Amino acid sequence: MGKVMQAFLKGFSTVLNSKRIWFFQYAMNLLFALFIAYPLSKLLSKVAGNSLTIDQAIGNFNYTIINDFLQNYGLGIEAIKSQSVIVFIIYFCLLVFFNAGIIHVAQRFPGAYKFRDFLAGGAEYFWRFLRLSIYFLIIYLLLIFLAFKIVTIEGLSPFKLENELGLISRARIVIVILLILFFILNAISDIIKVFITRSRDTYITRSIVMGMSFFKKHFLKFVSLALLQLGLLLLITGSYLIFRKFSNGSPNWFFLVFLIGQFFIMFRIGLRIWRLSSVYQLILRV
Amino acid sequence: MITRVATILLFCLSSSCLLKGQTISPRIANYKIQVELDVDQKTLKGSQKIIWQNISTDTIKELRFHLYYNAFKNDQSTFLKNGGRDGFLSNSEFGWTEVFSFIDSDDTQLVGNSYYDPVDDGNVKDQTVLVIPLASPIMPLGLGEFEMEWKAKIPKIMVRTGYNKDFYFFAQWFPKLGVYEPAGMRYATKGQWNCHQYHSSGEYYSDFGNYNVSMTLPRNFIVASSGDLLSKRDEGEMTVWNFSVEDVIDFTWSCSPHFVSEQRVHNGVKLKYYSYPYKTHFADRYFNTLSFTMDYLNDHLGPYPYPTLSIVDAPLHGIFCGGMEYPTLISSISFCFLPKGVRVAETLIAHEYIHQYFMQLIATNETEEPWMDEGITTYYEGRIMDALYEGNRASIDVLGFKVGNAEFNRTEFFGSSNIKIAPNTRKSWEFEDGGYSSISYNKTAIWLKTLEGLLGIEKMDEIMKEYFLRWKFKHPCKNDFVDIVNEISGTDMHWFFDQVLEDVLVCDYAVDYAWSVENEETGTYYSSVIVHRLGEMKIPVEVRMSFEDGSQRLEEWDGEAPSFRFSCNENSKLVSAEIDPDRKIYIDKNFINNSYSIKKSKSIKHYFNRFLMNTQQALEAFNFII
């Protein structure tokens, strides 16, 4: 447990040592979000900016106004939706690049690094990380498909089912198993990423095998580390959601809501750096 | 004639006094039915005595019966051809009814001359209307008495009726008489039978009468039924259940060996809930909603006149029988996997109970004028559910997502693919290209709410109460409803009905622009508001101008011209203008353009903030899979 804690704390030191990377990623997140939020806000301002309904709907979820907006001005939304798909795909690739860069830089800790090292790392491992991400994406999708098949093993047709209780209990069990599997796969994926950066091999198969056997060998340690990270994420997310609930709709809270929201995003980005760095640190220690 | 009357009286007595009791309805079509359920063969074997009262001055030479089960006889029936459900039933799952004996009071066998009449579409493969020419016509104001033997193959549940596994739901299960409409009744210019084929959209139309029904079925089965249980006796492996109900237009029952039941009494009415053991926890939800709905309608329309009401909460494999209304028996749908805040069960039970008034007590022709039952019911559903769950959360209230009932129905209509697909007056089977639900249910509910807005809720309640009192136990049509609106409101509302009922016009009023200019000499402000009529519908509307000092000015506009300008000189600067500020015109398709604030809303930045943060979170969510 000591090694896990050491790795966890060292990971945090890496985050503090990577403020530029952290801020850069936050800036990119903000920029990409603006590509979607700004046109959406512009559209809202154009069609409803002078409407009194916009104020009536601010505090609560207003089904009537949302539907009137979608039904009467839906064409504008369609255009933004298409743009959003492109933004999300690009950001996905960018995240792959960032992760590669983070691990590359984490390997230099506690030594000094230059921002261009981060970019160089991202560029060097990008394609391998992208392949890895796609492989895992496929695995996640296969698991979801399999889970769906298990849940609906008796079919979905109400004609054939005796009642819905079997469906519900299977769904509950399968969702729990699925979440555990996703959690484990996520932890394995992080280890593999480190192994990719330590290998000269263009193919990632070897790194995948090594990463998996390494995880198996040190199962408890890596699961403990991942649980620490997950616990932290849940704690902060919970606090943020409670804050949002209380501040929802109040115009006086606008700047505070904005600031806290941005801090939360920064925290999530920082946690990603923390996660990858601490996994690297733990690999060094076991 | 005297002998005939005497015979009839004797028949009545020998038929367990089918016409006994205090008469609150005309009791035209009366049935005494004995039916045996064969659970292995999935058949019903029935015999029924029918006493039919000719209330017209016409001589009746034929009778017309609905054989609804023949809609499932083959895939060429009008029901299956137009329902878009080819191949839904396999050969062994089809259903049918065959009448093999029909004897009049002179013991004349009439079934030999009977024939099927596809009155609506001429489809010779459709056998849902059986015509039986009479050997002895029924004289004006006379009674006809008949004995009928029939057999039915129960269809597998596809819609509303049938069996699945060991759950049975018997709706439209016996040969049922059409309605004879003498000249002057509804739209009839001469005496005629109103007995339509069974269509995939649209429902039923029947006369009032008394029912005495005995069902013989395996001993382990439990029966939920219209009316009250008179007796139950075991005969070998079988049990005979005998139910009776008076002054209703139909009789429905359901059975299953798994039924569990719970009873409560509300306002002297015995409420009987039948469900499967795994969903008995829905009982409280049903009873609470039902009690509220019963009280509401009792206060606003009049009392429910029957001693019982059965609620069947069908199991999952029987859900296609759920969400239906029959006299003194309603069926619902509930799903264990839905959160409590998704109020499907409550909405359905309220809706189906309201049908006890608009379908059963006011027995409109559901086939020809579906808006009169479904639309008015949906309107009351909105009123009742939104009153029970205040704050626009009657339909959904889950994790901050709140949807009211009336607003849900409004969105259903405006979200449909073509809001101009048909006028409300379209007959149910003419909705061949869709729109039955959005027009008959949702649009009607919306324009009724608009009528409520125009006349005021007190006047609307007065209208509906009078409509109920005057037309209960009768068969009103559109004109009867419109006449009462005109009479009680004291104004000719044809201009309104011509637009909402007879036409397919869209209503959309908007405030296009508003401004205020200061007159430096006088210190007053010259303010103007331009309003537009963007739709074809013309309805008088109010326009409210609000000023900086908090004062308001309410203007009225007849809503006729494509645009109109209101101008005024006030001591204060105009802040905003709103058309129809009290949302009386619920049929307006866009509420967003109903108002104009001279200064842009400050809320935009809040929305921007929300959009931005939610997008940031969504982008970062990729992190979970990379």
Nearest residue of chain B to residue A272 (CA atoms):
B623
Nearest to B590 among A33, A72, A165 (CB): A72
- Residues in chain A within 8 Å Cβ distance of B512: none
pLDDT of residue B16: 45
Please check whether residue B414 touches A, CB under 8 A: yes
- Residues in chain B within 8 Å Cβ distance of A273: none
Structure letter (DSSP) for residue B441:
I
Please check whether residue B550 touches A, CB under 8 A: no
Min CA distance, B82 vs chain A (Å)?
22
B-facing residues of A in 203-242 (CB < 8 A) are: none
pLDDT of residue B298: 97
pLDDT for residue A245 is more than 90: no
pLDDT lower than 70: segments of chain B: 1-22, 84-87
pLDDT of residue B474: 97
A-B CB pairs within 8 A amount to: 188
Nearest residue of chain A to residue B156 (CA atoms):
A159
pLDDT of residue B297: 98
Query: Where are the extended beta strands (E) located within B143-221?
Result: 143-153, 162-164, 167-170, 176-177, 179-181, 192-194, 209-218
Render pLDDT for B117-156 as a digit per residue (tens, 0 to 9): 999 999 999 999 999 999 999 999 999 999 999 999 999 9
Please check whether residue A177 touches B, CB under 8 A: no
Confidence band of A158 (pLDDT split at 50, 70, 90): confident
- Residues in chain B within 8 Å Cβ distance of A66: none
- Residues in chain B within 8 Å Cβ distance of A52: 576, 578, 595-597, 601
φ, ψ of residue B269 in degrees (nearest 5): -100, 130
Confidence band of A22 (pLDDT split at 50, 70, 90): very high
Min CA distance, A41 vs chain B (Å)?
5
Yes or no: say if B478 and B471 are a contact pair by the CB < 8 Å rule: no
Please check whether residue A96 touches B, CB under 8 A: yes
Nearest residue of chain B to residue A269 (CA atoms):
B620
Determine, for residues B626 and A160 on separate chains, whether the beta-carbon distance falls below 8 Å.
Answer: no
pLDDT of residue A1: 67
Q: Distance (Å, rounded) from C-alpha B483 to C-alpha B168?
A: 42
Nearest to A55 among B414, B601, B619 (CB): B601
Yes or no: say if A99 and B592 are a contact pair by the CB < 8 Å rule: no
- Residues in chain B within 8 Å Cβ distance of A160: 317
Please check whether residue B607 touches A, CB under 8 A: yes
Determine, for residues B620 and A265 on separate chains, whether the beta-carbon distance falls below 8 Å.
Answer: yes
Pick one of 1.10.390.10, 1.10.10.10, 3.30.830.10, 1.10.3720.10 as the CATH number of B370-500: 1.10.390.10
Nearest residue of chain B to residue A52 (CA atoms):
B595
Min CA distance, B410 vs chain A (Å)?
8
Alpha helix (H) ranges present in chain A?
Answer: 2-16, 19-48, 53-56, 63-106, 115-151, 165-197, 205-217, 219-247, 254-285
First to last CA, chain A: 11
pLDDT of residue B15: 45
Nearest to A48 among B315, B592, B618 (CB): B592
Please check whether residue A169 touches B, CB under 8 A: no
Determine, for residues B623 and A65 on separate chains, whether the beta-carbon distance falls below 8 Å.
Answer: no
Determine, for residues B622 and A72 on separate chains, whether the beta-carbon distance falls below 8 Å.
Answer: no
Please check whether residue A162 touches B, CB under 8 A: yes
Domain with CATH 1.10.390.10 in chain B: 370-500
Determine, for residues A63 and B402 on separate chains, whether the beta-carbon distance falls below 8 Å.
Answer: yes
Instruction: Quote the tokens at residue A133.
Output: 């991400």
- Residues in chain A within 8 Å Cβ distance of B603: 54-55, 57-58, 251
Please check whether residue A37 touches B, CB under 8 A: yes
pLDDT for residue A148 is more than 60: yes
Please check whether residue A250 touches B, CB under 8 A: no
Nearest to A54 among B598, B601, B615 (CB): B601
Determine, for residues B597 and A50 on separate chains, whether the beta-carbon distance falls below 8 Å.
Answer: yes
pLDDT of residue A109: 73
Q: Distance (Å, rounded) from C-alpha B129 to C-alpha B589?
A: 41
Min CA distance, A239 vs chain B (Å)?
15
Min CA distance, B317 vs chain A (Å)?
5
Determine, for residues A37 and B615 on separate chains, whether the beta-carbon distance falls below 8 Å.
Answer: yes
- Residues in chain B within 8 Å Cβ distance of A30: 612, 616
Min CA distance, A141 vs chain B (Å)?
10
Yes or no: say if B412 and B435 are a contact pair by the CB < 8 Å rule: no
Q: Distance (Å, rounded) from C-alpha B208 to C-alpha B360?
A: 9
Determine, for residues B604 and A41 on separate chains, whether the beta-carbon distance falls below 8 Å.
Answer: yes
Interface test with A, best of B619, B622, B623 (most A CBs within 10 A): B619
Q: Distance (Å, rounded) from C-alpha B300 to C-alpha B376?
A: 14
Determine, for residues B625 and A265 on separate chains, whether the beta-carbon distance falls below 8 Å.
Answer: no
Determine, for residues B402 and A53 on separate chains, whether the beta-carbon distance falls below 8 Å.
Answer: no
Render pLDDT for A24-73 as a digit per residue (tens, 0 to 9): 999 999 999 999 999 999 999 999 999 999 887 777 788 999 999 999 99
Structure letter (DSSP) for residue B573:
-
Determine, for residues B604 and A167 on separate chains, whether the beta-carbon distance falls below 8 Å.
Answer: no
- Residues in chain A within 8 Å Cβ distance of B600: 45, 49-50
Render pLDDT for B202-240 as a digit per residue (tens, 0 to 9): 899 999 999 999 999 999 999 999 999 999 999 999 999
Collapse the DSSP code of B41 into the 3-class scheme (helix H, G, I; strand E, B; otherwise coil) and give the result. coil
Interface test with B, best of A32, A34, A68 (most B CBs within 10 A): A68
- CATH code: domain B509-601 is 2.60.40.10
pLDDT of residue A61: 82
Instruction: Quote the tokens at residue B455.
Output: 């006349």
Collapse the DSSP code of B565 into the 3-class scheme (helix H, G, I; strand E, B; otherwise coil) and give the result. strand
Yes or no: say if B197 and B78 are a contact pair by the CB < 8 Å rule: yes
Yes or no: say if B325 and B319 are a contact pair by the CB < 8 Å rule: no
Mean pLDDT, all residues of chain A: 91
DSSP A243-265: HHHHHTT-GGGHHHHHHHHHHHH
Q: Distance (Å, rounded) from C-alpha B511 to C-alpha B541?
A: 12
Q: Distance (Å, rounded) from C-alpha B107 to C-alpha B165?
A: 40
pLDDT of residue B13: 40
Task: Tokens 């009286």: give the residue.
Answer: B9
- Between the alpha carbon of residue A214 and those of residues A187, A208, A222, B163, the distances in Å are 11, 10, 10, 58
Domain with CATH 2.60.40.10 in chain B: 509-601
Determine, for residues B625 and A133 on separate chains, whether the beta-carbon distance falls below 8 Å.
Answer: yes
Of B207, B216, B170, B190, the C-alpha closest to B314 is B170
Largest CA distance in chain A: 67
pLDDT of residue B89: 83
Please check whether residue B115 touches A, CB under 8 A: no
DSSP B359-408: TTTB---TTT-GGGTHHHHHHHHHHHHHHHSTTT-SSEEETTEEE-HHHH
Of A251, A74, A23, the C-alpha closest to B609 is A251
Instruction: Quote the tokens at residue B328.
Output: 């003194």
Determine, for residues B278 and A163 on separate chains, whether the beta-carbon distance falls below 8 Å.
Answer: yes
Please check whether residue A137 touches B, CB under 8 A: yes
Please check whether residue A61 touches B, CB under 8 A: yes
Determine, for residues B622 and A92 on separate chains, whether the beta-carbon distance falls below 8 Å.
Answer: yes
Nearest residue of chain A to residue B163 (CA atoms):
A159
pLDDT of residue A107: 85
pLDDT for residue A252 is more than 70: no
Alpha helix (H) ranges present in A152-218?
Answer: 165-197, 205-217
